Amino acid sequence: MPVNLRRSSGANTEQREGGHRRAFLGWLTSVGLFGSAVLSAFSNFVFIKPRATYGAPQRFSIGKPEDFPAGTRIAIESRRICVVREGEKLAAISTTCTHLGCIIGISDTGFACPCHGSRFDQDGNVTGGPAPRPLPWYKVSLAPNGEVEVDKDVEIEPGSYLNV
């Protein structure tokens, strides 16, 4: 079928009289359509980003201070923390590797990651391997009922303990 590429005969006069309006309306339509597309795409991301998660809570109780005798380092693997008790002082160190998120085991010299061989000292400082950052320390507090509460959303200065 032949394709006629010519504009309709009235195009020239129309262009002279309504050219600006036409271009403006065209521009407005394009921006409107493109903007709507971008907004729709963005709203998809808003939708798939959960507001509440179904997984384990970030703030939780780990029991009475007496459960952690002085001088022990007890890993609570389900919470991915290691509870350190020195005398009357208590702290919670993350056991999630800062490299790629594997669970770190307690070793003689501190912590060791099984995935890529990162090693940390007793305070969580990197002593070897690819880990880029020391292990974070989490905020520990005493709840009114006398239980120790850990908040993994709040990282604190390494070396700061809770006196119990």
Residues that bind other proteins (CB under 8 A): 1-7, 45, 48-50, 53-56, 58, 77-78, 99-103, 112-117, 130, 132
Amino acid (one-letter) located at 68? F
Q: How far is the CB of 81 from other proteins (least distance, A)?
A: 13
Q: Minimum Å distance from CB 31 to other proteins? A: 26
Those residues whose C-beta lies under 8 Å from the C-beta of residue 75, and which sit 6 or more positions away, are 81, 82, 83, 95, 105, 106
Nearer to other proteins, 74 or 115 (CB): 115
Nearer to other proteins, 84 or 112 (CB): 112
Smallest gap from Cβ 36 to other proteins, in A, equals 21
If the CB atoms of residues 48 and 143 are measured against other proteins, the closer one turns out to be 48
Tell me the C-alpha to C-alpha distance, in Å, between residue 113 and each of 75, 77, 109: 14, 13, 12
DSSP state, residue 108: T
**Nearer Cβ to other proteins, position 85 or 99?**
99
Q: Residue 48 contacts by C-beta under 8 Å, 6 or more apart in sequence?
A: none
Kindly state the smallest distance separating residue 107's Cβ from other proteins, in Å: 10
Contact in structure between 89 and 161 (CB atoms under 8 Å): yes
Report the distance separating Cα 106 and Cα 73, nearest Å.
Answer: 8
> Nearest distance from residue 141's CB to other proteins, in Å?
21
Residue number with CB closer to other proteins (9 or 163)? 9
Q: Which one-letter DSSP state was computed for residue 159?
A: T
